[in-house]
Amino acid sequence: MSDTIRENRRVSGFSKFNKHQRREWLLNHFLQGHDDGEFAFFDANSSDLQEVVDNFSENTLANFPLPFGIAPNFLINGELYAVPMVIEESSVVAAASSAAKYWMSRGGFEAEIVATEKLGQLHFRWAGAPERRAALFPELERRLRHATADITARMEKRGGGVRSMQWKHLPEVNEQCYQLLVSFGTGDSMGANFINTVLEAYATEIQLWSSDSPLLTDRERDLEVIMAILSNHTPNCVVNARVRCPIEKMNLAGSGVDAADFVRRFSLAVDIARHDPYRAVTHNKGIMNGIDSVVLATGNDFRAVESAAHAFAAEGGTYRSLSRCRVVDNVFIFELTVPLALGTVGGLTRLHPLADLALDVLGRPTANQLMCVAAATGLAQNFAALRSLVTTGIQRGHMKMHLQNVLSSLDASPTERKATTSFFEGRTISHHGVRQYLDKLRGEG
């Protein structure tokens, strides 16, 4: 790249450009040969809706559509759901739907909340001795709670608020490094803004405490706040989902595998993921295909959920499967335990029209109910993937769904799509094979 091109690509004040100016700048400097229509094609028809979407992020140029699908027939805790799923990967919604239908006639999914505690951290440097914490902490906690009473009052009315706090020493970081680890209840909201607001108020108050508390020595007044922020590690905000069925009823029509052999192979596959991190990562990715789809559809933070899930999977020092399988008295039991910090009020849950609609589809669930639905969907997706892996193989179903994407990439017409889909019914699908068949249809091969 020449110095001239590099210099021309530098920009100042980009965030102050309007959308048209941002598009124009990008087309002139990075996308020569393209036009504004490639962005505008995805603009919402409603200017009011487009303004809402533009305000979700910064420096926006266009919308990025993803499929919004439904997986029906989810029987969860006795309620029948149609589960909204947003994902671009072929076969995920189909697989979840298939698993839901399979388990609907076998008692459905059971799900229960294990705990709903969320965490925040205030890190600070303090020159005092660690053993002084026990004597000083009661006064500090009282002041912190008093200083934030007006902030927490509304949340407390909804059953949430500050649950507890610990004053921890972190000598592995630095001899003067300390942390307040604070647990919160946030009701039906994810609670990120609430937690961060409380923690930042704590940061201000702890500085005041260090300057005016009569309990502190001159040395102990040397306190510096480093940062205050929620933690996305939520090992105490956990849901368990499971399915169970007598082995003799675990038949798979048309698979050629009897129920007992299927359960044996399935259990072994789960055990492999419990002990082999290489397999566990892929195994858990399949679980998150289901969970993330629901999290996205309902306007929740899938990056936070992903981070928490993988940290949870690595507890104990070895990365393991999030799901477990066991057989008790000839009953097959498959379960998933996963941290899920979700909300059904606040954030994008109401601002994004489709997220709001997704919650309507689910019957306006509480946060706990949504956690149960998301966990059950993750377990369903995991079951469907493992069922394929230990019987027909994963590619058969995946490539069947992927065929339409391949045909799109090859600009297939509706007639060509129909003929190709019919031809590959029961055949192995590959990008090369589809191209060859289309060439023959078009008289090019």
CA dist., res. 371 & res. 368, Å (int): 5
pLDDT digits (tens, 9 = 90+) for 31-88: 999 999 999 999 999 999 999 999 999 999 999 999 999 999 999 999 999 999 999 9
CA dist., res. 300 & res. 118, Å (int): 15
Catalytic-residue membership of 175: no
Per annotation, catalytic residue among 301, 335, 400, 402: 301
Q: What is the pLDDT of residue 382?
A: 98
Catalytic-residue membership of 301: yes
Per annotation, catalytic residue among 19, 101, 168, 285: 285
Q: What residue type is 394 in one-letter code? A: I
Q: Half-sphere exposure of residue 14, counting CA atoms within 13 Å on the CB side?
A: 12
Domain boundary among 210, 231, 252: 231
Query: 255 with 319, same domain?
Result: yes
74 located within any domain: no
Query: 385 with 410, same domain?
Result: no
CB-CB contact of 224 with 125 (8 Å): yes
Catalytic-residue membership of 24: no
Average pLDDT, the chain: 93
Per annotation, catalytic residue among 118, 123, 398, 402: 398
Residue 32's contacts (CB-CB under 8 Å, 6 or more residues apart) are: none
The CATH number of whichever domain residue 288 belongs to comes to 3.90.770.10
Q: What is the pLDDT of residue 34?
A: 95
CB-CB contact of 249 with 296 (8 Å): no
Query: 269 with 181, same domain?
Result: no
CA dist., res. 241 & res. 379, Å (int): 7
| Cα 190 to Cα 60, 235, 237, distances in angstroms | 25, 15, 11
pLDDT digits (tens, 9 = 90+) for 199-211: 999 999 999 999 9
Q: What is the pLDDT of residue 434?
A: 85
The b-or-e profile of 147-181 (16+ CB within 10 A means b, else e) is bbeeebeebeeeebbbeebebebeeeeeebbbbbe
Residues 29, 31, 36, 40, CA torsion sign: negative
Per annotation, catalytic residue among 36, 79, 89, 276: 89
Catalytic-residue membership of 285: yes
76 located within any domain: no
Domain boundary among 209, 231, 253: 231
Torsion (CA) 79, 81, 87, 90 in degrees, nearest 10: 100
- Give the number of domains in the chain: 4
Query: 38 with 178, same domain?
Result: no
Query: 374 with 350, same domain?
Result: yes
For residue 46, the enclosing domain spans 3-54
Query: 185 with 318, same domain?
Result: no
Domain boundary among 193, 212, 231: 231
11 located within any domain: yes
Beta strands at 118-126 and 161-169: parallel, antiparallel or unpaired: unpaired
Q: What is the pLDDT of residue 310?
A: 98
Low-confidence ranges of the chain (pLDDT < 50): none
CA dist., res. 232 & res. 255, Å (int): 41
Query: 275 with 338, same domain?
Result: yes
Q: What is the pLDDT of residue 13?
A: 93
Which DSSP helix (H) or strand (E) runs through 316?
none
Query: 106 with 254, same domain?
Result: yes
Give the tokens for residue 375: 């966990």
Q: Which spans in 158-276 are helix H?
A: 192-212, 259-275
CB-CB contact of 116 with 188 (8 Å): no
